[in-house]
Amino acid sequence: MKVSAPARKKVLFVQPTIYDDRDRPVKKGKLYFIGLAYPVLAALLPPDWEAEICLETIEDVPFDTDACLVGIGGMGHAARRSVDLAKEFRARGKIVIMGGPMATLVPELAEKYFDVVVEGDAEETWPELVADFEAGSLKRRYKGVPARFTRPIPRYDLLLKKKIGDFLPVQAGRGCPETCSFCSIHCMYRGRYQRRDIEEVLRDIREVKRLGFRKFLLIDDNIVSEPEYMRELCAEIAKLGMEWMSQCSIELARDEELLATVAAAGCYALSFGLESVNPESLRHINKGWADPADYPEIIRKVVGAGIEVASEMIVGIDTDTKESLLSTVDFVLGSDLVAPKFYVMTPIPGTDFYREMKEAGRIVEPDVFRFSPSRAVITHPSIATEELSELYWEIYRRVYTLPRILRRTILKRRFLAHPSRGLFFLGLNLYYRYQIRRRIAPNIM
Ligand code: B12
């Protein structure tokens, strides 16, 4: 692609919001969970370049920006908003670049709407792209799998004046060794797990602390992918006196010493992908190594170590029945989960599961940009598609009644010792309830 020299060397990065069920962009007063991609990409720019980050959920998009490049990420069903934003910017003559999960999983689709598509991890391709742009020889596609997982300190400063929560994102490793067929991470990384040098991770955490934050979100996909590494990292994090949250596989609870080390390092909340309480359903999604019969004990152990447990579960695996799905409610109510979340089984484009469903002719929604976490878009062997979507809301409604919310948050004795934590989870649960009543799939974005 031939381009002339820019008037101003500046990139605008836009983190798109999502649409609600009436096609209105979701707007909020505060955004708690911030992605790390843009602070990282901004840090990788040459010194004479400027960067601006727009978090659309809490900010207006500056369509008349003086930036010469506009970078937009794509995540799940937010991809539809990414495409609409790209159209607006391209109509104003901007060069629009897409990167992130959707660019990686379905680059040929992204190419229809974006000038440049960056597949995969961009630590090496992003500087190459900017150099190509300056040389007037921008390519249509860049594809990267960095040999080493290293990078400069993220430009957290670009986020500081925004209405964000009291924590910043940090990353130690990416990818996951598990092979769950529905998961985008498995389909992007194919079992590859890359980790950064411990000293580099600590450098970023120290930077977060220097900026006045006492908490961080370790956005890794599975912090126990390499237990030995986590043990070493946690021993060092413990010395920094920070608090943090993350997500990982339930394997953590099987290693009591590692669990204690993670808790002693300041971890106070973890999210587990429990997926289902039906063993047959777990086998069906390649997760037969997990046994739902162990879940209550696993949660008890983790909570006993001082870490609150949130969960992610799937509604509508082929082997699910109406009864097995409704029994999920009993499981949740009988366990010590503090923030249970559910997603309708969705074939994310670019995943193995999508290909399988497409070949079987089971996808009933032809427009992939209309996929959402709350609406069934594939046929199910025993539950009608509409009924499945309704079951999803029914589970949520039953789990998020006011008495149940109170019982799993501030009425828990352990929150007496940590009232601010209890209030945080109460607020989160009430917010989810508010979203459920408006038929918005609970999310923390
Ligand atoms: C933090 C996080 C969030 C945060 C922040 C969101 C954000 N927009 O950044 C919150 C909680 C808000 C969120 C929300 C959602 N998320 Co999310 N999220 C993550 C998580 C855990 C980490 C992302 C991150 O910061 N990684 C660290 C950075 C450095 O890595 P990276 O994002 O991959 O970026 C690198 C490259 O991809 C590339 N890159 C990324 N973006 C761009 C953009 C440009 C222009 C370029 C050039 C390059 C580039 O450069 C980076 C450096 O190599 C990932 C899991 C994961 N490992 O990615 C899920 C993940 C990305 N999320 C996912 C989903 C589905 C969602 C939601 C749709 C969930 C929902 N139901 O609401 C929403 C959509 C929000 C939105 N508006 O986009 C899926 C995406 C699946 C898919 N196929 O797209 C993931 C992969 C989780 C999963 N296991 O399925 N998410």
Q: What is the DSSP string of 55-66?
A: ETTTS---TT--
pLDDT value for 3: 61
pLDDT value for 444: 63
Nearest CA to ligand 1 atom 68: 76
**Cβ pair 268, 243 in contact under 8 A:** yes
pLDDT value for 351: 87
Q: How confident is the model at residue 21 (pLDDT cuts 50, 70, 90)?
A: confident
For 84-101, the pLDDT digits (tens) are 999 999 999 999 999 999
* Residues contacting ligand 1 via CB (< 6 Å): 15-18, 33-37, 40-41, 71-73, 75-78, 97-102, 105, 118, 121-123, 126, 169, 171, 174, 183-185, 219, 221, 348, 373, 441, 443-445
pLDDT value for 1: 66
For 166-200, the pLDDT digits (tens) are 999 999 999 888 777 778 888 888 888 889 999 99
**Cβ pair 155, 51 in contact under 8 A:** yes
Q: How far is the CA of 177 from the centre of ligand 1 (A)?
A: 18
**Cβ pair 180, 288 in contact under 8 A:** no
Which residue has better confidence, 444 or 431?
A: 431
Taking residues 389-395, report their average pLDDT.
96
Q: How confident is the model at residue 117 (pLDDT cuts 50, 70, 90)?
A: very high
The dihedral formed by the CA atoms of 196, 352, 33 and 154, expressed in degrees to the nearest 10: 30
The dihedral formed by the CA atoms of 95, 15, 48 and 162, expressed in degrees to the nearest 10: 140
Nearest ligand 1 atom, CA 175: 57
Q: How far is the CA of 170 from the centre of ligand 1 (A)?
A: 13
Q: How far is the CA of 101 from the centre of ligand 1 (A)?
A: 6
For 221-246, the pLDDT digits (tens) are 888 888 999 999 999 999 999 999 99
Contacts of 298 (CB under 8 A, 6+ apart): 250, 253, 272
Report d(CA 210, CA 443) in Å as an integer: 29
Q: pLDDT at residue 212 above 60?
A: yes
Report d(CA 6, CA 68) in Å as an integer: 6
Q: How far is the CA of 413 from the centre of ligand 1 (A)?
A: 35
> Using the 8-state DSSP alphabet, how is residue 18 labeled?
-
Taking residues 43-51, report their average pLDDT.
97
**Cβ pair 172, 195 in contact under 8 A:** yes
Report d(CA 311, CA 271) in Å as an integer: 5
Q: pLDDT at residue 113 above 90?
A: yes
Q: How confident is the model at residue 2 (pLDDT cuts 50, 70, 90)?
A: low
Cα–Cα nearest to 36, from 57, 51, 53: 53
Residue type, 36: L
For 279-320, the pLDDT digits (tens) are 999 998 888 888 999 999 999 999 999 999 999 999 999 999
Q: What is the DSSP string of 230-272?
A: HHHHHHHHGGGT-EEEEEE-GGGGG-HHHHHHHHHTTEEEEEE
Q: How confident is the model at residue 5 (pLDDT cuts 50, 70, 90)?
A: low
Model confidence, pTM:
0.93
Q: What is the mean pLDDT of the chain?
A: 92
Nearest CA to ligand 1 atom 49: 99
Q: How far is the CA of 2 from the centre of ligand 1 (A)?
A: 30
SS3 for 20-51, per residue?
CCCCCECCCCCECCCCCHHHHHHHCCCCCCEE
- Of 67-71, 146-150, 248-252, 403-407, the one with minimum mean pLDDT is 146-150
Q: How far is the CA of 416 from the centre of ligand 1 (A)?
A: 34
- Burial letters 46-73, b for 16+ CB under 10 A, else e: eeebebbbbbbbbbebeeebebbbbbbb
- Mutation pick for ligand 1 pocket among 75, 170, 171 (CB with most ligand atoms within 8 Å): 75
Nearest ligand 1 atom, CA 121: 53
Q: How confident is the model at residue 442 (pLDDT cuts 50, 70, 90)?
A: confident
Taking residues 351-362, report their average pLDDT.
92
pLDDT value for 71: 98
Q: What is the three-class DSSP state of 299?
A: helix
Q: How far is the CA of 75 from the centre of ligand 1 (A)?
A: 5
Residue type, 341: K
SS3 for 404-445, per residue?
HHHHHCCCCHHHHCCHHHHHHHHHHHHHHHHHHHCCCCCCCC
